[in-house]
Amino acid sequence: MIKVLILAYDFPPYVSVGGQRPYSWYKYFKNFGVEPIVITRQWSNAYGNALDFVAPSESLMLEVEQNEWGTLLRTPYRPTWSHRLLLKYGPKRFRRVRSVFTGALAFLQFYLPVGSQREMYRAGYAFLKNNAVDFIIATGEPFVLFHYARKLSKKFDIPWLADYRDPWSNQFERNSLILLYAWQKRVERRIVSHACHAITVSAFTKEKIKVTVPKLSLTVIPNGFDEAVLQKVTVPKQRTDCLSIAYVGTLYDWHPLDYFLSLLNQYVVENKATISMNFYGVNQEDWILRHVNEVYPALTSMVLVHKKIPYEQLLPALAENHVMLLFNYYSFMGTKVFDYLAIKRKILLCFLDDPIAEALKRTAFPTHESENTDVSLQATLLEKTKGGIGVKDGLHLLEVLNQLQREFNQNGFVNADPIGLEAYTRKANVSQFAQVLKMLLADKKQLED
């Protein structure tokens, strides 16, 4: 059996979309002849919001867990100085001081033994001193894990693989700080050029990586949904009191959230309708509630923000709603679309061709897209699976809301019946990754012979 050491900072019980990818490796690798040893940090989920990312661990000792899936090493976490300020004084005080310290640490961690992820490197070093593995895998962000995987690889003569959930230096290419982009690109090239292989989530991300590390061999292994979780949870019936829309996860600067809320407000006021808008685990809780109260008072009682909850609890909570809101990610597929499809709820993709959304994209989207870039990945997926509606623009959204409201009034629910979902499971993706590892091991043995 192939043995792999995996460095994964985001990992359950931390509520993170990014953590589901390495978690699926941990759960399913053994089904395909790969034994995983995962190194992550201890998470407590004490706050149910963004503070969980910076909260100290309850234990100062390495925690080791072994089960039928593999081995899990959880390292202690001590907050950085800026994180301690955040926990003590809140997000509004000492912003500039915290930003300077965080930026300095982000730079120094590639050259000095500092940083909150350093404990993971130490745990990996201690493990490899007494145990042999065939590969080291690091999944980013944080991309300093690539640096640690490279160091462990060099120290113990073990090939390592990079998993890109997002681009690294390319996410800074539209940043006004040109020197930051240049430095990040140089660091990425220096580290990742030593990887024996890399995997990533989409063709566009692969294209971006190849610009920086052109000789790197790459395989696209997309995200998906975990069918095992769906089998364990009871998906509830849709609520019957009013039409409800849900959104889960991170809100980015190019997401036309305010524009969407203005259109929702317009529909509610003009039609004297009641529509529940539920946000789950978002990163702009305070802004949403304050902005709605100040600008769209008609929505005040209709907009609710829920704390982060574990994945197994999140899916049934989402399924109580009738419609899932998905903002256009353009050349990226993202992850939440697969979970939306899995719970079989109608998806609203906003927007496909709206001038306001396009203007926001031009100013806030983090990376450049070429003329050949496919910017309709989510729309194509929804069309292929019959999973939802690609909303063209604001006027179209008002029409769609009217259609959904009419369907809900007539039936008490909104119908959704996506097809072909078996092709988008996490287990199928892990099988593909295992085949990559087997081919790499065969190539390695051939070179040794």
Tens digits of residue pLDDT in 108-141: 888 999 888 999 999 999 999 999 999 999 998 8
Q: What does the mean pLDDT of the chain come to? A: 89
| Confidence (pLDDT) at 106 | 83
Give φ, ψ of 241 to 5 degrees: -80, -35
Could you tell me the residue range of the domain that residue 34 belongs to? Answer: 2-78+116-224+426-448
Both 177 and 233 in one domain: the answer is no
346 shares a domain with 308: yes
Does residue 409 sit in the same domain as residue 290? yes
Tokens of 138: 């690091």
Question: What is the C-alpha to C-alpha distance for residues 449 and 446, in angstroms, rounded to an integer?
Answer: 5
pLDDT for the residue 233: 62
Q: Is the pLDDT of residue 174 over 60?
A: no
Residues 272 and 314 both lie in one domain: yes
Residue 83 lies in a domain: no
70-74, 82-86, 273-277, 306-310: least confidently modelled range: 82-86
Is 55's pLDDT higher than 70?
yes
| pLDDT value of position 29 | 97
Pairing of strands 63-66, 71-75: antiparallel
**Strand ranges, E, within 9-153:** 34-41, 63-66, 71-75, 135-140
Same-domain pairing of 207 and 239 = no
Instruction: Tell whether the model's pLDDT for residue 26 goes beyond 70.
Output: yes
Confidence of residue 175 (pLDDT cuts 50, 70, 90): low
Question: Residues 380, 373, 185, 82: is their CA dihedral positive or negative?
Answer: negative
Q: Which amino acid type is present at position 285?
A: E
Do the domain assignments include residue 85? no
**CA–CA separation, 297 and 289 (whole Å):** 10
Residue that has been written with the tokens 């496909």 in this structure:
352
Mark whether 219 and 237 lie in a shared domain: no
Residue 87 lies in a domain: no
pLDDT for res 176? 55
pLDDT per residue as tens digits for the range 269-304: 999 999 999 999 888 888 999 999 999 999 999 999
pLDDT in tens, 377-409: 899 999 999 999 999 999 999 999 999 999 999
Task: Check if the beta carbon of residue 322 is closer than 8 Å to that of residue 411.
Answer: no
- Same domain, yes or no: 361 and 313: yes
Residues 283 and 199 in one domain: no
Say yes or no to pLDDT of 376 above 70.
yes
Q: Same domain, yes or no, for 270 and 402?
A: yes
| Whether residue 156 sits in one domain with residue 58 | yes
Residue 43 lies in a domain: yes
In a domain, 88, yes or no: no
Which residues, including other chains, have CB under 8 Å from residue 346's CB and lie 6 or more apart? 322, 323, 324, 387, 388, 389, 404, 414, 415, 416
Mean pLDDT of 247-257: 92
pTM attached to this predicted model = 0.84
> How many domains does the structure of the chain reveal?
2
Residue 431 lies in a domain: yes
Is 358 among the domain residues? yes
Local confidence band at 443 (pLDDT 50, 70, 90 cut-offs): confident
At residue 202, does pLDDT exceed 90? no
